[in-house]
Amino acid sequence: MAGITMYNEDETELQFSMEGVVRNHAQLCKDERFNFGDDELMVVVLCDGYEKIPQSFKTFATDDGLFDENILMQNGYMRSEGGKTKMVPVREVNAFMESKDAPQAPNYLHLFHKKTMCKVDNAEGCTPVNVIFAVKQENRGKTDSLRWLMRGFSRALETDYYFMTDTGSKMLDMCLTRMVAYMEYMPKCAGVGVERYVDWRPTPDMDWSTYCILAYQVFEYKFTIMTQGSAALWGY
């Protein structure tokens, strides 16, 4: 399973990530060591809330069959206010559920499934993959999204391996194959990681504040490698 977290990214960033996923999926299927089938990879794109999603992404996901506002409207999870569609607060959803003697929850996750490549470029020879687009009723933060993926989807789907990334990050060719190979031949290994490269080369339309943000992302990632490596020494 591949889990992709999302918040306010647009469709081009998801396509950028999905290009790496479908290319690595095709490479895994061609590798005779693993006997990896076309339907063995499930990609879960988990969006933290609805209001911050760009309209262009909503249009793209609807056209691609990954999202349908009408279903949520018909079932009382969304409503129209001031010409805009919004998620109904969880407390109101729970009140409705209580009136119907239905189970209630602290939050709700709406799932849409389709086999697709998300209209990515540079995917010659690749086949569509199973994609679940999951959107939360309310924003609860990235840590909550990771809990949904690891404690929810991974357990429910009984996955052998779970790959985690963010929207806007792309796996290079053979990345997934090498990680799976290492896990297969090193059964005592609990997990593997890769080094992330941030493309922070200046562009003509980049101002100094954007460049500083990108530079900070590089520093944050390099520092995270050191802290996580230290935590691993103590069993975390």
Count the domains in the chain.
2
Is there a single domain that holds both residue 123 and residue 221?
A: no
Quick one: 49 and 67 in the same domain? yes
pLDDT tens-place string over residues 189-229: 888 877 777 666 777 777 888 778 777 777 777 777 667 66
Other Cβ atoms less than 10 A from the Cβ of 133: the count is: 25
- Structural domain that includes position 43: 2-191
Are residues 229 and 179 part of one domain? Answer: no
Q: How far apart are CA 42 and CA 227, in angstroms?
A: 30
Those residues whose C-beta lies under 8 Å from the C-beta of residue 56, and which sit 6 or more positions away, are 10, 11
pTM: 0.87
pLDDT at residue 17, as a whole number:
93
Give the separation between CA 73 and CA 130, rounded to whole angstroms: 25
Same domain for 53 and 14, yes or no, is yes
**By the 8 A CB rule, do 119 and 15 touch?**
yes
- 97-137 pLDDT, tens digit each: 999 899 999 999 999 999 999 999 888 889 999 999 999 99
Q: What's the pLDDT score for residue 190? A: 83
Q: Do 139 and 231 lie in a common domain?
A: no
Residues 85 and 174 in one domain: yes
Integer Cα distance of 117 and 38 in angstroms: 13
